[in-house]
Chains A and B, each alone.
Chain A
Amino acid sequence: MERLYNQLLEDVRFREGMNACMNCGVCTAICPAAEFYNYDPRKIVNEVQKKDDETIEVLLKSDTIWYCGECMSCKTRCPRGNTPGLIIMALRTLSQKTGYFTETEKGRQQFAIKRTIGENIFNYGYCVAAYAVNPDMHPEQGPIWRYIIDHSKEIYERLGVKYDELGEGPLRKIPEDAKEELRNIFEVTGGTDFMEEIEKHSKNKAKELGIQISETGIRNEYFTKVYTENSNRHTLNDQEEL
């Protein structure tokens, strides 16, 4: 197998984001993930810049690389022009290509994202659309969201929305030919293969754990597990309690 570090170098985001880190820790000071998770972007950048494949493999199989929220606040602040967030994105891509993401609780969640956001892109032409946001999966949306879903047509119509119809406007139905172009782009650029890798590795993991998984959709035990499971071993407080 090609060296992991070389595979990272093939990602332009890695080349853009990884210059030379002097370990000042400003990225960690500004990081919303470091505020609550047991997470330190300075440490990750420092480990990656050692170019050691064993160290990188440990990262790819860790919960750690999945704590970042990709807000990119670190990019503004690094005095040496590094972007820990971009390095994280390159590590996450490689973790999914290698299948290592299924080794940890936070990594396995990629399956849930693929089956929700990923499927939305192909089904509707949107990452998110009102009709795909189920109030049962989003209690934090509060009673207004259930109300909106229960009365979608009337509410959106009043605001001038062509709800799921062809033509201009919010929440319009994306024409079939546009969705076809989107699918072709995924096919040509490796996006389809990438999502199939997420599926393949997740199905293997489900089999290994003896948990039921379906071919499509979210009505399966593996989805519920990765979408809701929280071992409570991720935050600074959790670590202290252990």
Chain B
Amino acid sequence: MNNENNKRIWSDYQKEIADDHFFFVRSCIRQSFFPGSEQFFLHLMRNILGKDVYENPSHTTCTGIGYHTDIVPFPTIMTVVARHFALMKEAGYKNLAISCVTSFGIYTEIIETWKHFPEELEKTREYLYKATGREFDLPENMAHTSDIVYNFRNEIAAKSRYNLINRFTGKPLKVVEHVGCHYSKMFPKYGVGGAEFPKVLSGMAEAWGGEVIDYPERRHCCGFGFRQYLVQANRGYSLSNSVKKFESMKPYKPDVIITNCPGCNMFMDRWQYTVKEMEGKTYGENGQSIPVLTYEELAGLVLGIDPWQLGLQYHMVQSEPLLDKLGIPYNPADKYRTREGKEMPVPENLINV
């Protein structure tokens, strides 16, 4: 096949990602469960890569979890998102950086809806003006924050202090990458590599020296399922789907799981605890569980940031086995302290301790 043909075929899987001047929108789940990740993203962008990232305190939830649990109507969420576009316009930004995969899916769905049904865009403009007096433009560039980190993966590699190499074996670390469903399964053109060849996380892992595992259930949903987790009676759905993935990846002996979705990250961490409690089953080596990291936490480790500043100690599955493999030094006595350095109680019954 000649190069021109190759280029044409793969052009559908490319994504243009802005490289500066971002309007940053946070995630409800990430800010609650992995706030260190969002904070490190800002530190990485502003202080390590020297980029301009703006955050507006008036930005609210996109209501995406309400929408996907079917209590928020479509016209309502379209108008809430339009308000965010208005805040971006007012601040003079054109590139949107979205921290949440549910939100990212919502933004892509809404923009595509407005293309297919222009009357919905007009209706939304009227609703927003009536409700808030605001007007909006569409973003020129829209990226998930994992797209942005992917875009700078080689710069991060150039500044890295640690590679994803198992220092006990000298071999690349075996990485499971789990891409959130709403990142590119709905609208493949908005994701790096589309839905068929998502490269966003594997590209980072490989650039930093790791080896990505291709296992049978690699693209299966983590099982969040919105109402299937949020209502206690339904949680078997959520747990069962994660277990399906864990069983499928176990034979490949993963050292770490990385995700780009707030829900996936939380569930793959917490369900390992649950299934261990319920059935005594574990999925890592030597009876341990597999640490589940956000891509920012992994980038932070590669760059030599203190694991406790990233918040790794606030996962259920603790990361020490991974830190040992990477040869990253850590002080166990610093794990649970206040900002001022005062000692705090140590949580009990965590995993991998």
Judging by beta carbons under 8 Å apart, are B28 and A109 in contact?
A: no
CA of A118 to CA of B227, assembled, Å: 13
Q: With contacts A133-B32, A151-B344 known, is A72 near B105, CB below 8 A? A: yes
Q: With contacts A71-B225, A157-B339, A189-B75 known, is A35 near B181, CB below 8 A? A: no
CA of A13 to CA of B68, assembled, Å: 13
CA of A192 to CA of B326, assembled, Å: 52
Which residues of chain A are near B311, meaning CB under 8 Å?
Answer: 159
Partner of B72, one of A12, A37, A142, A191: A191
Judging by beta carbons under 8 Å apart, are B73 and A191 in contact?
A: yes
Shortest CB-to-CB span from A177 to chain B, Å, is 8
Judging by beta carbons under 8 Å apart, are A166 and B57 in contact?
A: yes
Shortest CB-to-CB span from B65 to chain A, Å, is 4
Partner of A187, one of B29, B117, B131, B230: B131
Partner of A172, one of B57, B63, B113: B57
Judging by beta carbons under 8 Å apart, are B233 and A143 in contact?
A: no
Which residues of chain A are near B236, meaning CB under 8 Å?
Answer: 36, 235
CB contacts between A and B, total, < 8 Å = 255
Judging by beta carbons under 8 Å apart, are A179 and B60 in contact?
A: yes
Partner of A144, one of B38, B309, B314, B338: B314
Shortest CB-to-CB span from B218 to chain A, Å, is 13
Which residues of chain A are near B233, meaning CB under 8 Å?
Answer: 105, 109, 227-230
Shortest CB-to-CB span from B70 to chain A, Å, is 4
Judging by beta carbons under 8 Å apart, are B39 and A160 in contact?
A: yes
Judging by beta carbons under 8 Å apart, are B131 and A185 in contact?
A: yes
If over half of B's interface residues share one DSSP class (helix, strand or loop), that class is named, otherwise mixed; here it is helix
CA of A182 to CA of B77, assembled, Å: 10
**Does A141 make an interface contact (CB < 8 A)?**
yes
CA of A75 to CA of B182, assembled, Å: 11
Q: Which of B60, B70, B338, B348 has most chain A Cβ within 10 Å?
A: B70
Which residues of chain A are near B347, meaning CB under 8 Å?
Answer: 143-144, 147
Q: Which of B32, B105, B116, B236 has most chain A Cβ within 10 Å?
A: B32
Shortest CB-to-CB span from A139 to chain B, Å, is 8
Which residues of chain B are near A143, meaning CB under 8 Å?
Answer: 316, 347-350
CA of A221 to CA of B64, assembled, Å: 28
Q: With contacts A69-B223, A142-B316 known, is A185 near B116, CB below 8 A? A: no
Judging by beta carbons under 8 Å apart, are A127 and B132 in contact?
A: no
Which residues of chain B are near A109, meaning CB under 8 Å?
Answer: 227, 231, 233-234
Mask: chain A, 109-122; 1 = CB below 8 Å from B; 0 = not: 11011101110010
Would you list 21 pairs from A and B whose C-beta atoms are within 8 A, ordered by A residue?
Answer: A32-B220, A36-B240, A69-B223, A69-B241, A75-B185, A117-B65, A117-B66, A121-B63, A125-B61, A129-B32, A142-B273, A154-B339, A154-B344, A161-B31, A170-B35, A171-B35, A188-B130, A189-B79, A190-B73, A191-B76, A194-B76
Residue positions of B touching A, CB distance < 8 A:
26, 28-33, 35-36, 38-39, 55-61, 63-66, 68-76, 78-80, 83, 105, 113, 116-117, 120, 127-128, 130-132, 181-182, 185-186, 188, 195, 219-221, 223-228, 230-237, 239-241, 244, 270-271, 273-274, 309, 311, 314-316, 337-339, 344-345, 347-350
Query: Shortest 3 CB-CB distances between A and B: which pairs?
Result: A69-B225, A170-B31, A191-B76
